[in-house]
Amino acid sequence: MESKLQIYNSLTRKKEIFEPLNPPHVGMYVCGPTVYGDAHLGHARPAITFDVVFRYLQHLGYKVRYVRNITDVGHLENDADEGEDKITKKARVEQLEPMEIVKYFTDRYHENMDQLNVLHPSIEPTASGHIIEQIEMVKSIMEHGYAYEKDGSVYFDVDKYNKEYHYGKLSGRKLEDLYQYTRELSGQKEKRNSFDFALWKKADPKHIMHWPSPWSEGFPGWHLECSVMSSKYLGEKFDIHGGGMDLLFPHHECEIAQSNAATGHDPAKYWMHNNLITVNGQKMGKSLKNFITLNEFFSGEHESLNRAYSPMTIRFFILQAHYRSTLDFSNDALTAAEKGMNKLLDTYHVIDEIKPSDHSSVDVKRYEKLCREAMDDDFNTPIVLAHLFDLSKTVNQVNDGKETLTAEDLKFVKDLLSTYLFDLLGIREEEDKATDTALLDGLVETILKIRQEAKKNKDYVTADYIRDELNKLNIIVKDTPDGAKWELGK
């Protein structure tokens, strides 16, 4: 089937028809986390955004290789001890091996991703596992004349590169402007220009993580790992490179420069960037210390949280905004997302209780096209959800006897909800709701029969007592024309 998928390409700043380089194969690389702390809400956004991209591309029939890295070396701390990277610093503080820290937070990250129902990437390479390849790439860039060594460190020669290529093509920055502004900052003497960036850095004695190289005992520059691992697993030229908008400059700009310097061409055809999550209009981030970790959301243990929010509520909340828009966090917004999501999940189950008619009074088939068009339009998940809410309204109207649907159409609606809500948007029902055991079922039914007797005798005191007590046990009773129904509450 001909794809009409359009993707907003940060490189061209417009939506483009998605045409893979080698169909039906698609290569996608996304910058993963630096594992030196628990993942916060800001980390959930790229993970979920590109999870949906991954799911939808597969849905369209593409064979996707999705690579998401784990950064476990290299990111230097600027504000604290100079020359120490984040992993190392944490290790020294806690007297642990760096790889112990890495393992701990990598496991925690994976746990969070599973909770958010984020599919595992095809390959999850680590920077520390690709030191040799990184050294090779530095050599290649040097051989092409775009890097120079100084006192055991190797720097990328941006000025020289920019004479042959265009440094700033992704971020829209001009080298002259960078030069004017950055020259006043405390530049390092080793560099020819302040905007040159490190490819290899000589380790000073207190730096624990270091590897031998032709230039020094040291460690790779932080832009290098992504260039190396993407080309190793996806080839020198692949389809999609994704990441957070805050990585656009300098990180992704430098990746483009490194690839061009080593191979003569850009690494990725489409660059996708998810926007940031804000708190009171400000970026949620480590540096601002205004972040809330995912575990804190799940437990509710944070001063900014009124209560706990389930992983699926977080996921739904993120999907209710387009990935290229900023998304403002608040308790009200999360609660609204939770209620909306439960409404859709209820609809999914209501379908089973509807008696089919011979004739459908409404056209539900059109929703498939509408949902598909929304996804094709740069993964517009809020529009998909709006259509699903419309569909939900229709189902409820049928349930109320105001409209009718045939058995075939009812199945169609159920399948459509299943496909979009569960398979593509990755929402799943909370486990405690899914595990209604037969025992619980029987007990509650029995108690409700007693309550029904009480109601028949107009003994409302007993009836309400039963309902209130069940409520306290998180069992919500609803009286309907067909008798009392119940469900486990939030």
CB nearer RNA, residue 190 or residue 236: 190
Q: Taking CB under 7 A as the criterion, which residues in 412-441 touch RNA? A: none
Site for RNA, residues 11 to 70, rule: CB under 7 A:
13, 31, 34, 42-43, 46
* Least distance between RNA and beta carbon 434 (Å): 19
Q: Residue 62 or residue 260: which is nearer to RNA going by CB?
A: 260
Name the minimum Å distance from CB 144 to RNA: 18
Return the number of the residue (116 or 321) whose C-beta is nearest RNA: 321
Q: How far is residue 295's CA from residue 301's CA, in Å, rounded to a whole number? A: 8
Q: Does 326 bind RNA (CB under 7 A)?
A: yes
Strand pairing report for 327-329 and 277-279:
parallel
CB of 469 to RNA, least distance (A): 14
Considering only the stretches 174-182, 294-302, 407-415, 435-443, report the one whose residues sit in contact with RNA under the rule CB under 7 A: 174-182
Span 197-236, contacts to RNA by CB under 7 A: 197-198, 201, 221-222
Q: Are 436 and 449 in contact (CB under 8 A)?
A: no
Min separation Cβ 298 and RNA, Å: 19
Name the minimum Å distance from CB 287 to RNA.
5
- Minimal distance in Å, beta carbon 25 to RNA? 27
**Binding span for RNA by CB under 7 A among 202-210, 277-285, 357-365, 412-420:** 277-285
Choosing from 6, 117, 122, 171, the residue that interacts with RNA (CB under 7 A) is 171
Residue linked to tokens 């230097």: 76
Q: Per CB under 7 A, does 150 bind RNA?
A: no
Judged by CB under 7 A, which stretch of 102-110, 140-148, 275-283, 297-305 contacts RNA? 275-283
Give residues 100-139 in contact with RNA (rule: CB under 7 A).
Answer: none
Nearest to 368 by CA among 409, 402, 320: 409
Which of 3, 295, 397, 419 is in the footprint of RNA by CB under 7 A? Answer: 397
Out of 58, 117, 263, 278, name the contact with RNA by CB under 7 A.
278
CA distance 244 to 206: 32
- Smaller CB separation from RNA, 23 or 177: 177
Nearest to 47 by CA among 100, 124, 130: 124
CB of 24 to RNA, least distance (A): 28
Residue 28's CB is within 10 A of a number of other CB atoms, namely 26
Shortest Cβ 259–RNA spacing (Å): 15
Given candidates 12, 182, 457, 474, which one binds RNA under the rule CB under 7 A?
Answer: 182
For the chain, how big is the Rg over CA atoms in Å?
Answer: 27
The stretch near RNA (CB under 7 A) out of 208-216, 321-329, 351-359, 415-423 is 321-329
The one among 155, 161, 309, 367 contacting RNA by CB under 7 A: 155
Considering only CA atoms, which of 339, 358, 357 is closest in space to residue 397?
A: 357
Could you tell me which stretch among 120-128, 176-184, 413-421, 429-437 binds RNA (CB under 7 A)? 176-184
Scan residues 327-386 and list those touching RNA (CB under 7 A). 327-328, 330, 332-333, 335-337, 339-340, 343, 346, 377, 380, 382-383, 385-386
Tell me the closest approach of the beta carbon of residue 399 to RNA, in angstroms: 6
Report the site for RNA in 450-489 (rule: CB under 7 A).
Answer: 455, 460, 463-464, 467, 476-481
**Least CB distance from residue 324 to RNA, whole Å?**
7
Residue 82 main-chain phi, psi, to 5 deg: -70, 140
Shortest distance in whole angstroms from residue 181 CB to RNA = 4
User: Do residues 111 and 298 make contact, with C-beta atoms less than 8 angstroms apart?
Assistant: no
Task: Give the span between the Cα atoms of 55 and 48, in whole angstroms.
Answer: 10
Cβ closest to RNA, residue 2 vs residue 82: 82
Q: Which one of residues 262, 276, 421, 424 is an interface residue with RNA (CB under 7 A)?
A: 276
